[in-house]
Amino acid sequence: MTVTEISSTAELHALCASHSGLTAVLLWAPWHPPSVHLTTKVLDRLAADKTAVRFGKVNTDVCGSIATSLGANQVPFVAFFDPKGNKLDTLAGPDAPALFDKVTKMASRPLDVAKGSSCNTCPNLKSCGGGECGSDTKTDLNAELKGLINYSTVMLFMKGSKLEPFCKFSKQAVGILNDLTSPDSYCTFDILQNDTVREGLKEYSNWKTYPQLYIQGELIGGVDIIKEMNEDGSLKEALEGALANEQGEETLEDRMRGIINREPVMLMMKGNPEEPKCGFSRKMSDLLKSRSIQFGSFDILSDQEVREGLKSYSNWQTYPQLYSRGKLIGGLDIVLELDEEGSLFEEMGIDSPEGSK
């Protein structure tokens, strides 16, 4: 399943009405890294796992009215709806395991009892208690546990939360993790809030006590193991390696692709349009301005790696270079020629502003 981009209330209601089940909509903002992580790293995976649920996302910078109507005073913020578009429940904060758990519970019971925290109908991780509710119960529970364990590169199952540990061992584990990495780099799950997870994870991991630390889905151990690994430096090494893999190393090609697609029209130049650092860059910039073409720019003198790499990437050895929607148009001579022929706008794939040549 794909995650639907929503930019209006009408689109929100259309998504809810598109099927007979639960709809979950995530409100996020591009300037808020935790909400970006939830949108790009978690929501797509959740949509693939929970095919009975429809998922949508709202960029609050684009459509703030939806946030206002839902009473969302922060991002990320998730709202759950029935097919008629009635709001059933909400979840605030960048807690991926909590989102996974709430979607699982709400999707597994009738919509008329979906709101709230208790239900006598299985399957329900919070109220089932791990009893014999059917032949597939254990298999389903193991699948859910595996999903929880893998919802963050670093997962700590503990009593309480990273902000409010409820036992000294959980507090010690959180303290060590906070010393080695940012609190935003790992997630926690409060096993006191879910007896089924609390008991089921003991059997699943063959580890009978809490806290339990997992890195990239693999059990590290409890607080004693965490302390030992912290003392010999292996925990820091494991965390740094795992988090580096999660973030990925951005290649030079990725960087260049991102830069030339930063705006619909991008001018790779020496200096900037207000202060060009060479005559050719000045002429190109002045030409675009005279044709009322809106464009972004990048100073290739500020980044030697991009300056040299772009020559190979575009197979064009000189600057300035003009791009439209990621496509190389050419250097100054080509752009001047296209302008003289009257085909510049056509070549760039943009509409000619009124009054332009």
pLDDT tens track, the chain, 357 positions: 689 888 877 778 878 877 788 999 999 988 888 888 888 888 888 888 888 899 999 998 888 888 888 888 888 999 999 888 888 889 998 888 888 888 888 887 766 433 333 222 222 343 333 333 344 555 677 877 887 787 678 889 999 888 888 899 999 999 999 998 887 778 888 888 788 888 989 999 999 999 999 988 889 999 999 999 999 989 988 888 787 765 545 567 878 888 898 888 999 999 999 999 999 999 999 999 999 999 999 999 988 889 999 998 899 999 999 999 889 999 999 999 999 999 999 999 888 765 455
**Fold of the 1-121 domain:** Glutaredoxin (3.40.30)
Peptide bond into 264 cis (omega under 30): no
Q: Is 46 exposed, middle or buried (0-12, 13-18, 19+ CB in 10 A)?
A: buried
Sequence ranges of the chain with CATH classification 3.40.30.10: 1-121, 122-249, 252-348
According to CATH, the superfamily of the domain at 252-348 is Glutaredoxin (3.40.30.10)
Q: Which CATH superfamily is domain 122-249 in?
A: Glutaredoxin (3.40.30.10)
Q: How many CB atoms lie within 10 A of CB 347?
A: 17
- pLDDT of 187 reads 80
**Cβ 142 vs Cβ 136: under 8 Å:** no
* pLDDT value of residue 117: 30
Other residues' Cβ atoms within 10 Å of the Cβ of residue 11: 16
SS3 75: coil
Chain centre distance of CA 185 = 13
Positions of E strands within 216-344: 218-221, 265-269, 296-299, 321-324, 327-330
Cα 224 to chain centroid, rounded: 33
Model pLDDT, residue 330:
93
DSSP class of residue 66 equals H
Task: Write the CA distances from 294 to 70, 115, 286, 290, 352, integer angstroms.
Answer: 36, 49, 12, 10, 11
Question: pLDDT at position 84, please?
Answer: 83
Which tokens in the block code for residue 254? 């990725």
Q: Would you state the pLDDT for residue 76? A: 92
- The beta-carbon contacts of 309-315 under 8 Å, at least 24 apart in sequence, are 309/252, 309/253, 309/256, 310/256, 310/260, 310/268, 313/253, 313/256
